[in-house]
Amino acid sequence: MVLPLTEKYRPLILTDILGNEEVMYSLQLLVQNKILPHTLFYGPPGTGKTTTIRAISHQLYPSHTKSHVLELNASDERGIDVVREDIKNFASTVSLHGGQKLIILDEVDSMSKDGQNALRRIIEDFSENTRFCLIANYQSKIIPALQSRCTKFRFSPVCSDKVHDRISFICHQENIKITPDGLSALLSIFDGDMRKLINDLDGIISCYKIINKTHVHTVTGSIDKKEYINIYNSLISDTFDISYSTITHFKILHSIDLQSIIQEIVEVLINENIKNKFKILKNISDIEYRLGQGCSEDIQLRAFISCF
């Protein structure tokens, strides 16, 4: 069976995990002292939350991981009652090897408040024999009663400088040639989600033996940043009709919505030194809000062009 690259190259120890150095340092001290409190790992997807707690479990229980660690999805459609039963069956038994057990609960933020309150009681009932690690994307969606029972660690997106070497290493191990423009194209679509980036790389490798810019954009469906720069230049220098025609053609050609175009143009705009930049950004924010409320995309496109 061929493993996905995300699993094949998943770090097994804390020191191999990219980014979040301060968090890793704190967790490493806890592991060395064999002291693990209830923890809440929160942050954007693909920042290493699940990988980190799995690495901790391997370091705490190197030869007894299966008997000491239970990993569950807290938002399981079967409901909190079934999850509670699984936890009860696991936590109520004492390990032959001694020590506390570890229960990893993913996607806690997608649970209802009633479910989270039930989970709070579960943690209280089994904390003597078991430690819990809660994983969430959004801290704000976790009820205060749960947060107060955990030591919180925030995971930030990994910066692209650190990703460069990891991608080069994976390509070397897989005997895949990656061109400089291919690597730059991969990094240009990287938004801090390491898992997504490696999955994209896996998809490209399955189609091509050489990774270049064209192959990256073809497989991922991403658009070259230069095309957005061309749209920005049209907004700045062309007439309203020409800009409208340019963006409309671009939307049809790439099957992309206006909101996605606006997000990319804003990235370009932020780095430009133009007059009334902040006024333009404020007007664009109003357009994004109206798009989110379901207003006509064509009318908002005309308003967007008028901002410039």
Q: For the chain, give every residue range classified as CATH 1.20.272.10.
A: 225-306
- What is the rounded CA–CA span in Å between residue 225 and residue 265? 10
Q: For the chain, give every residue range classified as CATH 1.10.8.60.
A: 160-220
Q: Which amino acid, residue 204?
A: I
- What is the rounded CA–CA span in Å between residue 142 and residue 110? 9
**77, pLDDT greater than 60:** no
pTM over 0.95: no
- Dump pLDDT digits (tens) for 4-26: 888 888 888 888 888 888 999 99
Domain 5-154 coded CATH 3.40.50.1950: no
**302, pLDDT greater than 70:** yes
Q: For the chain, give every residue range classified as CATH 3.40.50.300.
A: 5-154
Give the fold, CATH level 3, of 160-220: Helicase, Ruva Protein; domain 3 (1.10.8)
3-state class (DSSP) for residue 216:
helix
Domain spanning 225-306, CATH class: mainly alpha
Question: What is the length of the chain?
Answer: 308
Q: What is the pLDDT of residue 38?
A: 92
Give bridge partners of residue 130 from the DSSP assignment: 101
Between residues 285 and 65, which one has the greater pLDDT? Answer: 285
Q: Phi/psi at 69 (nearest 5 deg)? A: -125, 130
- Nearest partner of 177 among 196, 158, 201, judged by Cα: 201
Spatial contact of 132 and 103, defined as CB atoms under 8 Å apart: yes
The band of 1, judged by pLDDT with boundaries at 50, 70 and 90, is: low
